[in-house]
A and B are shown apart, each in its own frame.
Chain A
Amino acid sequence: MTNSIEEIEHTEMILAIGTNTTENHPVIGAKAKRAVRRHGAKLLVIDPREISLTKYADLWLRQKPGTDVAVLNGLMNVIVAEKLYATDYVTERTEGFEALKKVVKKYTPAYVEDITGIPAEDLKKAARLYAGAGRASILYAMGLTQHTTGTDNVKSVANLAMLCGNIGIEGGGVNPLRGQNNVQGACDMGGLPVSLPAYQPVANDEARGRFEKAWGVTLPPRPGLTVVEIMNAAHKGDVRGLYIMGENPMLSDPDLTHVEAALKHLDFLVVQDIFLNETAQLADVVLPSAAFAEKDGTFTNTERRIQRIRKAVDPPGQALADWEIIAGIADRMGYPMSYRDAEEIMAEIAQVTPSYAGITYERIDREGLQWPCPTQDHPGTRFLHKEKFTRGLGLFHAVEYIPPAELPDREYPLILSTGRVLYHYHTGTMTRLAEGPSERCPESLIEIHPQDAKAYGITDGQRVRVTSRRGQVEAKAQVTEKSPAGTIFMNFHFREVAVNLLTNAALDPIGKIPEYKVCAVKVEAA
């Protein structure tokens, strides 16, 4: 997030696009609802699905799945045409405006209505609502990123925010809500094939040189493979050994049949986890690790706040903290990693990670600090790009609308969109063991619109089979108007209804994120 969670409650206007906030980030959802109900903020929701935030919204735009760029360009078209944008801000702090203007020109409300299904008048109203606010915060999540055009979608929200002068101010910003507790931290720490800690490019000699010095080794300069590329390489036999720590690609990756074949093709698979999950079952070596309540460390939340986790109970049996296990392997491979505790690792992180340089366990004991926090006396950063953008001027990246990779046709007439529900998390390994959440949400349901249900002769509660070009699954249907006609919705928390047998592994070319939000399927009674 460019801005802080706290600011959401006190902004004038919230635009929620591609985020089912009250289910996926409930406490942020509560702040958004408080902003509306208690402090009079305006709320604009852009989502194909009737999520609960729509109940609190001043206006809800229901676009066809996968047409977000068209919607956003349409909003900008109106804002430019009606001269509602922040003229001074655009002149002083940004570049590329003329190119943007050219691109959004053809996205007139009527043209956008054709693509997205959003009534032209509603689009105009929405544009005025967003542009009319003094400070507006944009919230988005996987609903925007899990498309082949995910990177374009993200650029488009940034364009919109800059156009109205909403970046670099309190209560403004473009605010991606991270799905998993420490996605932010995993990226910050260099858990990416292209970058070392703090996004220092591995291909950059100077950056790499600093780490070579710090770590006392020579480092490979060529960027590595992404998850999906790793699976492909395993398939081909180029990757032969795989070390997986705390992930379950056997349920979370797109196109599971392909993942399973890839993992089985490996010479050697090591899985380190708290459970014998689907992926661990295929492993050659399984290493038992400690859960978050059994170890010390830090997580970095979606607003860049580095916060402590603390050991509350002992790990079961012989399980060890993940860092202890990694160190054990490194020691044996002739590279001793002798850390006394997690705190000592943080001290090393602070030395090589400029944005974390001011972080110590002592400083974050009572309250976490938000990076960048470059020095020991730096108070942390509540919002980014104040006064000027990191790169100097904010750059508008004009983008054209491109339809999703796989659209419905005669054989597969419906769109499948996937996501999460309130009561479960990710692949369900943790929440499905919880009595309460499982009582509230005991099984995977396929949400289908009454019109489609009627067309395919399906009744509420009936078992149905969903088939895509890649596979099929069965589950109970829930007939509801939540998703628009022509679109069904499923969650990916239940291994017995592994929805990623269906999804399309088509990737966004830059973000390399699979298109989980749109693929073509057919539905029939099972």
Chain B
Amino acid sequence: MSSVPLNIDGRDLIGKPGQTILEVARENGIFIPTLCHLKDTTNVGACRVCVVEVENARSLVASCCMPISSGMVVRTDTPKVRASQRMIVELLWSSGDHNCLTCEQNGVCELQDLVYWLKIDHPRFAIQSPGHPVETTNTMIQRDLNKCVLCGRCIRACNEIQVNEVLDFSMRGSHSKVGPAFDADYIDSECVFCGECVNVCPTGAITFKQARFSGRPWEMKKVRTTCAYCGVGCQIELNVHDGRVIKVTGNREFGQPNQGSLCVKGRFGMDFIHHPSRLTTPLIRKKKGGELTEATWDEALDLVSKKFEALKKQHGPDSIAGLCSARCTNEENYLFQKFMRAVVGTNSVDHCARL
């Protein structure tokens, strides 16, 4: 059997065997909120924000975990569903310190989205933050578990996507917490700072520390580009504000080769872009043994071309050689070898790729 007929919110739909209610709904543009669900990882059914009513089922079911069956009749928007979702969200809200005023995720927080979507003014329960100390012991990732909704997405990202196997739940039950083994801070654990957990956290519980107070989500321009480090060529998003790269995010929509995953270099290795030691002007050494002094582009390029021409004339084109770069673009490498061959007249052009 290759197709499964079912009905969601009064629409007759066809799903494939093995699909969940959530998957079929999403494919057909029917919105069901989720929180703990993370694509391509195990469906754990932890948050129950995705509940729906299924005809003849005794209670509400978690749509992210429930496989479809032939003739199933599903409703995503009944008062019972909404009441249940509201209860869950109010509990989550009241059991944390969700102060959006200073939160880096303000505007892109999935808890905030749920509160707004469910039109909740106030949680019916008194707000009681667990009072976890904020973890600021490394420069890359900040953790404020008072904003954690225990969805477990970070854990699955670390174990199932990056397979770094660092994070887990500890102290199960009412004092449940996520983090590295033995309640260690990231910096004291086996964490390799890939940042996958930050990327998938729905709230402001895990955030990029260097980016704090440097630009709010809606002020950020996201520019898709390719990582400048290793040969994997990960697709990355540079988050730019005020002419500066503030942070680097992954985007699973970009597909191959990295499906949104990055490593520590692509994620946290971009400080060099705005570093004060960057060269900003051409430099010329007027005489051998002298100092390098600032020059204009015209002075510098005139000098280079005159010297190359003189060497070529006196000692032949093979007295000049060039090294292009495994770190420059294709366009630049192409032009460089074209320059060496067509303009200088030598094939002595290589790069340090073997090294």
Contacts and interface: CB of A to CB of B under 8 A. Distances in A.
Contacts of A6: 256-257
A285 B232 contact: no
Contact of A181 (B233, B270, B301): B233
Interface in A232-258: 233-234, 238-249, 252-254
A329 B275 CA distance: 27
A180 B322 contact: no
Contacts of A25: 230-232
Contact of A307 (B193, B235, B272): B235
Interface stretch (A120-128, A271-279, A449-457): A271-279
Contact of B284 (A284, A316, A326, A434): A284
Contacts of A349: 330-331, 334
Contact of B272 (A300, A429, A512): A429
B321 A239 contact: yes
B210 interface: yes
Contacts of A298: 329-331
Contact of A185 (B164, B288, B330): B330
Contacts of A423: 264-265
Given A30-B161, A435-B271, A180 B332 contact: no
A422 interface: yes
A347 B285 CA distance: 37
B322 A243 contact: yes
B240 A305 contact: no
B129 to A, nearest CB: 28
B138 interface: yes
A436 B264 contact: yes
B337 A440 contact: no
Most chain B CB atoms below 10 A, which of A181, A233, A307, A511: A181
Interface string B219-251: 001011111111111110010100111000000
Contacts of A230: 321, 323, 348, 350
B320 A284 contact: no
B335 interface: yes
A242 B344 CA distance: 11
A249 B355 CA distance: 9
Contacts of A86: none
A280 B268 CA distance: 26
B308 to A, nearest CB: 6
Interface stretch (A57-65, A92-100, A188-196, A393-401): A188-196
Nearest to A182: B326
Contacts of B226: 181, 292, 299, 301, 307-309
Most chain A CB atoms below 10 A, which of B279, B297, B349: B279
A247 B330 contact: no
Interface string B256-279: 111001111100111111110111
A88 B30 CA distance: 52
Given A227-B351, A437-B265, A329 B160 contact: no
Interface stretch (A107-115, A317-325, A467-475, A476-484): A317-325
Most chain A CB atoms below 10 A, which of B254, B281, B329, B349: B329
Contacts of A234: 321
Given A291-B273, A321-B332, A326-B339, A268 B257 contact: no
A136 B280 CA distance: 49
Interface on chain A toward B: helix, strand, loop, or mixed SS?
mixed
B323 A227 contact: yes
A225 B322 CA distance: 10
B333 A186 contact: yes
Contacts of B342: 211, 215, 217, 219, 335
B302 interface: yes
Most chain B CB atoms below 10 A, which of A186, A311, A323: A186
Nearest to B309: A333
Contact of B355 (A178, A222, A253): A253
Most chain B CB atoms below 10 A, which of A4, A177, A247, A319: A247
Interface stretch (B21-29, B117-125, B311-319): B311-319
A154 interface: no
A288 B277 CA distance: 11
A40 interface: no
B323 A242 contact: yes
Nearest to B262: A27
A286 B282 contact: yes
B138 A439 contact: yes
Contact of B331 (A202, A238, A342, A516): A342
A24 interface: yes
Contacts of B257: 4-6, 27, 301, 303, 305
29 contacts: A25-B232, A30-B163, A145-B354, A182-B231, A186-B324, A190-B333, A191-B336, A194-B347, A224-B346, A225-B350, A243-B320, A268-B308, A273-B279, A293-B238, A299-B228, A303-B257, A307-B235, A317-B279, A317-B280, A318-B280, A321-B332, A323-B331, A330-B343, A430-B269, A431-B269, A434-B271, A436-B193, A436-B264, A440-B264
Given A5-B232, A182-B325, 15 more contacts: A34-B161, A37-B163, A185-B330, A194-B347, A219-B345, A227-B351, A243-B320, A285-B304, A310-B223, A312-B238, A317-B279, A326-B336, A342-B329, A367-B256, A431-B269
Q: Which 6 interchain pairs have the tightest Cβ spacing?
A: A317-B280, A301-B233, A297-B329, A178-B231, A224-B347, A246-B325
